[in-house]
Amino acid sequence: METVVAAVTPYVDFGNTAWMLMCAALVLLMTAPGLGLFYGGLVKRKNILSILMQSMVTLALVSVIWVTVGYSLAFGPGHGALAGFIGGLDWAFLKNVGMDVSPYYISQANARIPHLVFMIFQCMFAVITPALIIGAFAERMKFSAFVLFTIAWSLLVYAPIAHMVWSADGWLFKLGALDFAGGTVVHVNAGIAALVVAIMIGRRKDSKIAPPHNLVFTMVGAALLWFGWFGFNAGSGLAADGLAASAFVVTHIAAAMAALAWGALDWLFHRKPTMFGVATGAVAGLVAITPAAGFVDVTGALIIGAVVSLVCYVFVVFVKGFFKYDDALDAFGVHGIGGIWGAIATGLFATPVIQSAYKGFFFGNPDQLKVQLIAVGFTIVYSFILTAVIYKVVDLVIGMRVSEKEEAIGLDVSQHNERAYTLLE
């Protein structure tokens, strides 16, 4: 007797919709103020407003790009030979993106949310990805160059990678690459771009790099990132269900484990655990668990969190110093390296206990690890080449770097004619 499977009729679920709108707001919080404060506390006091300005403008600028053409390029139906690499303009200016459920992007039968909700949730991912790169060129890029670079990078790097990994007709998606919430699309992508920009723009001119000017801001920023990350990861299942609960738990545990591990490494190598180290470790743990959040259990999360701090610590403390590239706020060392480890770890620790359709190397599927390595490798090469081209073009057109005098004055005054701190007269 033939089994008849009833077709799922798409409809809007109020609970899922409310959850996803909240998750979109949480991810917005990660960029401004979360990332802005985390990065802002680490730079010199004369540059904190430039970091906050870049974070806020990225939020505004990329949001406009997203609703006009970015969303269509990333998630819209592809056409012809390029269908697996970039979407068309069918959804430009949100044409045909409305309040009804769109079956095109739904991979989970219970993700019954309006198309507009999915669009705005993904908008916040598109926003924070170029914002992460800010940490690499902090204290030395022209604001005008930053704006042009962000526009070009969002359209030419972020949108194609998002399409390839997450869109229903993306070639890496069809290959079987697993990236639950953006380990490859967001962190590897932005981390490699950060390394490229850090190398091409050159080291800061100050002979003595000052210590962080306000670690209180950095701690508050890290806490806001941790808080917002629950929307980032737990929302990526597109439903308020058990998978969201699992992703929420493993996200928290990986961050906690990584924070403890980095603090222990500080204690071991420098005889004192530091607030900066614990905050950095927490962010590294959040980065690493991002691609795996919907596929691993708590044991996997503990391992991912412990290992990411060790790997990122080596790059931040030892590798960066050895090669002398000025990744000012360790965007590559934490997000790039953490994202690479997280994507690979997904191929190792994905367990069918969480989602029965997926399993990694340690659960009898070595092919998944191979696919993860292909996705990571392609993203590294694509982001590296395109970022270098974009940087070079913008540099030729208007110049990327501020003058030595402007750098000495500080970007707050030289680029924005403002000061974060004033003395009472």
Q: Which pLDDT tens digit goes with each residue over 269-314?
A: 999 999 999 999 999 999 999 999 999 999 999 999 999 999 999 9
Residue among 115, 129, 356 nearest 246 (CA) = 356
Residue 232's alpha-carbon distances to 124, 219, 287, in angstroms, are 9, 19, 10
Q: Has residue 8 been placed in a domain?
A: no
CATH number at residue 297: 1.10.3430.10
pLDDT surpasses 90 at 386 = yes
In a domain, 78, yes or no: yes
CA distance 178 to 300: 15
- Identify whether 30 is part of a domain: yes
pLDDT band at 422 (very low <50, low <70, confident <90, very high): confident
Residue 298 located in a structural domain? yes
CA 92 to centroid of chain Cα atoms: 24
- Report yes or no on 2 lying in a domain: no
Q: What is the DSSP letter of 76?
A: S
Q: Of all residues in the chain, what percent carry a pLDDT higher than 90?
A: 90
How is residue 26 written in tokens? 């949480």
3-state secondary structure of 176: coil
Number of domains composing the chain: 1
- Selection from 277, 280, 132 nearest residue 195 by Cα: 132
The predicted structure's pLDDT at residue 424: 53
Tokens 């002979």 correspond to: 207
CB neighbourhood size of 3 (10 A): 4
3-state SS class at 95: coil
104 versus 132: the higher-pLDDT residue is 132
What is the signed CA dihedral for 244, 248, 250, 256, rounded to 10 degrees?
Answer: 180
Report the candidate in 64, 65, 54, 61 with the shortest Cα–Cα distance to residue 32.
54
Q: At what angle do helices 143-153 and 115-137 cross, to 10 degrees?
A: 140
pLDDT for position 104: 53
The answer to whether the Cα torsion of 305, 307, 310, 311 is positive or negative is: negative
Q: Is 423 within a domain?
A: no
pLDDT in tens, 337-356: 999 999 999 999 999 999 99
Domain of residue 365, residue span: 14-416
CA distance 19 to 254: 23
Sign of the C-alpha dihedral, residues 85, 91, 94, 99?
Answer: negative
Q: Check pLDDT > 70 for residue 12.
A: yes
CB 78 within 8 A of CB 86: yes
> What CA–CA distance (Å, rounded) separates 183 from 186?
6
Q: Is the C-alpha dihedral spanning 151, 153, 158, 163 positive or negative? A: positive
pLDDT greater than 60 at residue 7: no
DSSP string, 109-121: TT----HHHHHHH
How confident is residue 100, by pLDDT bands cut at 50, 70 and 90?
confident
Q: Is the pLDDT of residue 29 over 90?
A: yes
pLDDT at 6: 47
Rg of the chain (C-alpha set): 21
4 found inside a domain: no
- How many of the other CB atoms lie within 10 Å of CB of 404? 10
Give the mean model confidence (pLDDT) for residues 102-108.
53
Kindly state the DSSP code that residue 343 receives in the 8-state scheme. Answer: H
What's the pLDDT at 143?
98
Look up residue 337 and give its two tokens. 């390296």
Q: Look at residue 260 and tell me if it is in a domain.
A: yes
Q: Which residue has the tokens 């530091």?
A: 274
Q: Which residues contact 351 (CB under 8 A, 6 or more apart)?
A: 295, 296, 297, 300, 359, 360, 363
Average pLDDT over the chain reads 94
Instruction: Mean pLDDT check: name the lowest of 4-8, 230-234, 419-423.
Output: 4-8
pTM above 0.85, yes or no: yes
Which residues are CB-contacts of 330 (< 8 A; sequence separation ≥ 6)?
135, 280, 312, 316, 320
- Cα–Cα distance between 134 and 328 in angstroms, integer? 9
Structural tokens at position 255: 């961050």
Q: pLDDT-derived band of residue 423, with 50, 70 and 90 as boundaries?
A: low
Position 1 scores a pLDDT of: 44
Whole-number pLDDT of residue 4: 47
d(CA 154, CA 152): 6
What integer pLDDT is reported at residue 101 of this predicted model?
Answer: 81
- Over 70: is that where the pLDDT of 8 sits? no
CA distance 135 to 331: 5
Return phi, psi of residue 12, to 5°. -85, 120
pLDDT tens digits for range 224-274: 999 999 999 999 999 999 999 999 999 999 999 999 999 999 999 999 999
Euclidean distance between CA atoms 400 and 264, whole angstroms: 39
Question: What pLDDT does 384 receive?
Answer: 98
How far is the C-alpha of 384 from the C-alpha of 366, rounded, in Å?
Answer: 27
Beta-bridged to residue 383, according to DSSP, are none
CB 180 within 8 Å of CB 292: yes
